[in-house]
Structure 1
Amino acid sequence: MPKVHVLQAPSAPLQGRSVRCSTRSVIFTFGYVVNLVVMPFKAYLSEPLPWNLHPHSLDLAPNASFEIFSIKAFQFLSETYNNKTVPESATISRDMAANTYCLRYTMAFPSFGDHQCIEYMLGFPAALYYSLATTEFLCDFVADNTTTRLNRPLYHCQQDRFVTMSIAFSCTWIVPLEQPDTFDVYHGVQLLETPMFSWIKLGYRVGLSVFIGFAQWRLYFQHLKPLLHNLRTIGLANLNDEANYVIQLGDPTWLILSHRIVTLVMVLDCFVNVGYSGAAGNRTSQVNNIWEFCLGCLYGSRAVWAAYFVMYYATPLVKYMAWEKHFQPVDPGPMAMTAIFYAGPVIYNNSHTPSLLFFQWLHAIAAPNIEIVECALGMVVFLSTMAAVPVLFSCTAQCTRRAFKKRHIAPTRRPLYASMRFNDWKQWILFYQRRLWTPQDQVGGTLYYLFDENPRYRKYPLFSARVSDCFVTCYNTDGVVVRQVRLSLMHSLDCQSTDPTLRILLCPHVHSTSAVGSINSEGCDNSEKDKSSKYIHLGASGCQWIQ
């Protein structure tokens, strides 16, 4: 929507109104801000910090053969992880400074061998990331009898790559136990990130964090200044009994999660750190160590950025095809929380069901030889799976909502969008006590009535903007609540400037007596009355909050 610069009219004289922000909402909003600013650094719950990271110690000549590589890699990993260095009860071990980790499972095999390898493959550690050669090595081991097994090499190593770049090397080795036909199966991994690259990552994450803080100010908090000024000097209505205002601040999270630069950088961050995503996948492939499983879920939930990426970059297609009516906006904040819970089970399921064969095939199809794992396709499929969840949920929710409205809501009944109940679960908790004594006079929510009238007015059809709304509680001189007003930012509105039947025009006049903006079908003078258009009337000082 084009900006119109107009001269400001003189402010109305002070009316002695008191305006303050609710303490509870300020605390919650501060928490939302901090959560967004530190978001890029949450990866360090699973990644080593650059000043703690040691260069990997495997020294190989540039033209060393794969056989020499395997010997040295196995020697290094088996000396780091063995029955003496790993506690007997441990399933997973990790050395953050060396950037290595290991899974160890105890498995029993039939003494006469078994050619049905798939039944055992589902129980091998980190089987999701095996190369073809590692798979053949383990299947041959399972097929051999007791005598033959011990007369063959008991280890195999592989190289892990992402778009031809080496990101890790790993080995799988087998250690016989005292009990007949019972073995400890190890899978050790050395991630190949250098300290210099780790410092570069920290640098761009610091830059992204600063950018997120600036974006929150520009998109949300700077609009509070004219609102506070207007409430103090003008008020929401020409009523003498409105003496005090208390503002319940909203959650600006969706404004960041729908930002084109933030979503793009975070998705690229997922690809750049594919090695750590693999480590998170291995953490969630076991449940004996619940703490490691939870850390894997938390790191795996970063894949939700693929969902935000698709939700934002699919918007031009949705609007071009006029598909807005087929999607129900999704609250992106709770979606990030739920991703923590479904990322882990998805990976665990892929690690212990025949679907792991599909991922082994994906990792092998682009590899130059059977000793190498190429992770790019597997990462794309995983991120696509995570990205599809909110889109499918949005379509399903819209179909369900449409069917429910047809059956249960009378045609003349309008939903009460001014209510605090129309919000996501975080704001429900914040506003719980206030909802117990909500005043009868509730106004606002104009944007949502407009979206109901025609979904094409949604600027971001897949993102719900309701969580960022402010609620202004109006008190009279006796301290009694008079009414409650819901205010929404114009950022979520598509003015449809290219469609003459839907367009919303910006009124060029200064509205010095209006604290907040409004939308209606009337211009401010007779020359502007166009029955085919709606008008946005900004509040004084260019206030972009709409009642």
Structure 2
Amino acid sequence: MPVSRVHVVPGPSNAAPPLFAVGRNYFAFGVSIIMLLNIASMPMKAYLSEHPPWAAQPPPPTYANDSDFNIKTLAHMQAAYNASTLPATAHFFDDSAHNTQVMRYVLILLHSPILVNDCRDRFLVGLPSVLFYGAGIRSVLCAFAAANHSSPSDGTWDRRGACMYITYFSMAIGHQCVWLRAGNELDGSSTSSHDTYTLVAAHTVYTYYAFHSLKFVYRIGISLLTLHLMWTNFYVHCRQVETLLRRRGHRANLCAQSHWRYEVLYGDPTAIILMHPGVATAFFVDCWLSAEVISLVIPRASQSADVDVMLLAFMYLSRTVWFAYATVCLTASYLKRHHKEHLFYEVDPTIIAVATTFYGPAVTWAMGHMGPLLAAYHYLFEFTLSASRREYVVEGSVPSMLYSISIGFIPLVYGFVGALCRRHRSRRVLSSVASLYGSFRYNGIKTQAMFTVLQWMHPDKKMTVPETGGTVYGLFRRNARYKRSPTISFRSADCFVYCYKDNVLVERIRLTLLESLDCNESTPTLAIRNTKTAPQYSFNQLVDVAPPAIVRAPKPSEWCL
């Protein structure tokens, strides 16, 4: 009897289609995350120099009147900080337990008496914490400088001094006392002397538990907001790049998945968050919520006797880079509103940060060492005060505006002057085959450095291959109206995709967020429209023709070539 043979016929397969291999460059990803954490943690960096709210001191005592404050506070400070209580040779002493810093400076009076009108330029400039010398302190010191110190009969200046409230929008944030001691306390010769005195400047800041607790919560809120915006405006879209490549490859209708693999290099999202108006405003406000600490740090930055203290002060003042970022953010809004984008040459955020690191301390030093600038600040400190209060109070709200403008001024000069010079600057020729705008070299300083290190670590990535993308930058150069942000460069936020076929690098792709592009939909002559041309890539493709158009990707994407 014949044996029947049964053949199993395979049914329809439920297996998922093969996927493209996609890897993440963890060096670039690590740099990106470091930039993220740097921005997100910046509000909390303030506590390198500030006390947390739980370490707040008791509120300052109250006095019957300003004269009573001056007499009692001066006596208290002189008893607390003198040759017996301070380190023998210390120019600078930080009494962190009482939120007080003391600076000492030896005066050797070998010159003839100085007229009161010349006092600021010939005597006050360069003295410790001179920026906060209100009218009461200046009266004592200028009378001292005008006195004849050629004979011992003038030793009555010992212990003479004055104290001033430091206020900010009328709220007392601290006080400063300055007094004279006969002799040189720094070398131990504190005996009475007619021509040698030690000037002592003691600066105390006030802390209020409720206010500092609210500030602490506010800073946590800024950090969380920054992390949220970074995730929703950048990292979600980076993950979308990986998903699209894994499912579709870099080109439309790409076959032979097993032959292709991709490596994704994340960009630096710093510029995206810097130009967010809410974040820039929040950081700007955060800086001036600590006006009392800035008043403490500025004298530290202007002295050079204790280098460690000076460098720590510079680190704290680096937070004032947000004055510059807020300025360029505000300028961008003005330029966009008036269609003057071409008047400004966009600034690399790293250049702003580095320039402010050096320029900020230079401005701080100049405020206490240049007579005309010091005079301007002294005038502004008293500008809003009545005549009766100027002897006992300096008000910091108006000077803080000048200080903010001084820091924010430098990127504006760079941007407006750079726009004038751009037409005279020749283009760099990158290579015979590389696209100018598609190359990693057309990038911010920080990103160029990252790619240089990456190529040093992996020499195979230096291969000369076609580079696609960056079309938006050619469009920006042709017409700045298409820039979403005309003041800050977004180039470092771009992602790069290395395309490998059979394990050989064959193409580099530069992807730019559409968020950086202003499609000018309200201006028909400039509006960027969608074209029905069949897509060649898995990402949006900007076609820089007249008028420009966008070839939409087969699947929704926030990136374009």
What is the TM-score when the length of structure 2 is the normalising length?
Answer: 0.87
1:243 aligns with 2:260: yes
- Count of residues in Structure 1 that have an aligned counterpart in Structure 2: 520
Choose the corresponding residue for 1:421, options 441, 450, 467.
441
1:366 corresponds to which letter in structure 2?
Answer: T
Partner of 1:360: 378
Task: Tell whether the 8 Å contact from 1:14 to 1:232 is kept in structure 2 after alignment.
Answer: no
Q: Distance in 2 between matches of 1:424 and 1:543?
A: 24
Q: Structure 1 residues 101 and 510, CA, compared in 2 at 3 Å: closer, same or farther?
A: farther
For structure 1, which runs of at least 5 residues remain unmatched after alignment? 1-11, 522-530
Choose the corresponding residue for 1:342, options 355, 359, 367.
359
Partner of 1:33: 36
Task: Tell whether the 8 Å contact from 2:302 to 2:364 is kept in structure 1 after alignment.
Answer: yes
Partner of 1:516: 539
Instruction: Please give the per-residue CA displacement for 1:287-313, whole angstroms capped at 9, x wherever unaligned.
Output: 121121112222222222122222122
Partner of 1:154: 160
Greater mean deviation of Cα atoms: 232-241 or 357-366: 232-241
Partner of 2:474: 449
Q: Structure 1 residues 174 and 480, CA, compared in 2 at 3 Å: closer, same or farther?
A: same
Matching of residues 157-306 of structure 1 within 5 Å: 157-177=163-183, 178=191, 180-237=194-251, 238=254, 240=256, 243-306=260-323
Task: Tell whether the 8 Å contact from 2:159 to 2:180 is kept in structure 1 after alignment.
Answer: no
Q: Distance in 1 between matches of 2:222 and 2:255?
A: 46
CA shift, 1:19, in A, is 0.6
Q: Structure 1 residues 480 and 140, CA, compared in 2 at 3 Å: closer, same or farther?
A: same
**Per the alignment, in what secondary structure is the counterpart of residue 287 of structure 1?**
coil
Q: Distance in 2 between matches of 1:236 and 1:377?
A: 56
Partner of 2:187: none
Partner of 1:400: 421
CA shift, 1:520, in A, is 2.5
Choose the corresponding residue for 1:504, options 504, 515, 528.
528
Q: Distance in 2 between matches of 1:268 and 1:443?
A: 42
Q: Distance in 2 between matches of 1:514 and 1:423?
A: 23
Partner of 1:68: 68
Q: Distance in 2 between matches of 1:318 and 1:30?
A: 31
Task: Tell whether the 8 Å contact from 1:111 to 1:145 is kept in structure 2 after alignment.
Answer: no
1:475 corresponds to which letter in structure 2?
Answer: Y
Partner of 2:6: none
Task: Tell whether the 8 Å contact from 1:500 to 1:533 is kept in structure 2 after alignment.
Answer: no
RMSD: 2.6
Identity %: 27
Q: Distance in 2 between matches of 1:292 and 1:538?
A: 56
Task: Tell whether the 8 Å contact from 2:433 to 2:466 is kept in structure 1 after alignment.
Answer: no
Task: Tell whether the 8 Å contact from 2:154 to 2:194 is kept in structure 1 after alignment.
Answer: no
1:484 aligns with 2:508: yes
1:425 corresponds to which letter in structure 2?
Answer: I
Instruction: Please give the per-residue CA displacement for 1:418-457, whole angstroms capped at 9, x wherever unaligned.
Output: 1111112221221114556143311110111111121110
Q: Structure 1 residues 378 and 302, CA, compared in 2 at 3 Å: closer, same or farther?
A: same
CA shift, 1:472, in A, is 0.7
Q: Distance in 2 between matches of 1:83 and 1:510?
A: 84
Greater mean deviation of Cα atoms: 146-155 or 98-107: 146-155
Q: Distance in 2 between matches of 1:507 and 1:55?
A: 68
- Give the number of the structure whose alpha-carbon radius of gyration is greater: 2
Partner of 1:4: none
CA shift, 1:360, in A, is 0.8
Partner of 1:391: 412
1:130 aligns with 2:130: no
CA shift, 1:273, in A, is 1.7
CA shift, 1:151, in A, is 5.3
CA shift, 1:317, in A, is 2.0
Instruction: Please give the per-residue CA displacement for 1:206-264, whole angstroms capped at 9, x wherever unaligned.
Output: 01111100000011011123211110111112375861111111000111111111111
Task: Tell whether the 8 Å contact from 2:219 to 2:286 is kept in structure 1 after alignment.
Answer: no
Q: Distance in 1 between matches of 2:209 and 2:506?
A: 61
Q: Distance in 2 between matches of 1:23 and 1:323?
A: 40
Q: Distance in 1 between matches of 2:337 and 2:33?
A: 37
Instruction: Please give the per-residue CA displacement for 1:124-163, whole angstroms capped at 9, x wherever unaligned.
Output: 2111111122111110011112334515761101111112
Q: Structure 1 residues 95 and 83, CA, compared in 2 at 3 Å: closer, same or farther?
A: same
Q: Structure 1 residues 402 and 151, CA, compared in 2 at 3 Å: closer, same or farther?
A: closer
Q: Structure 1 residues 455 and 124, CA, compared in 2 at 3 Å: closer, same or farther?
A: same
**Per the alignment, in what secondary structure is the counterpart of residue 436 of structure 2?**
coil
**Per the alignment, in what secondary structure is the counterpart of residue 284 of structure 1?**
helix
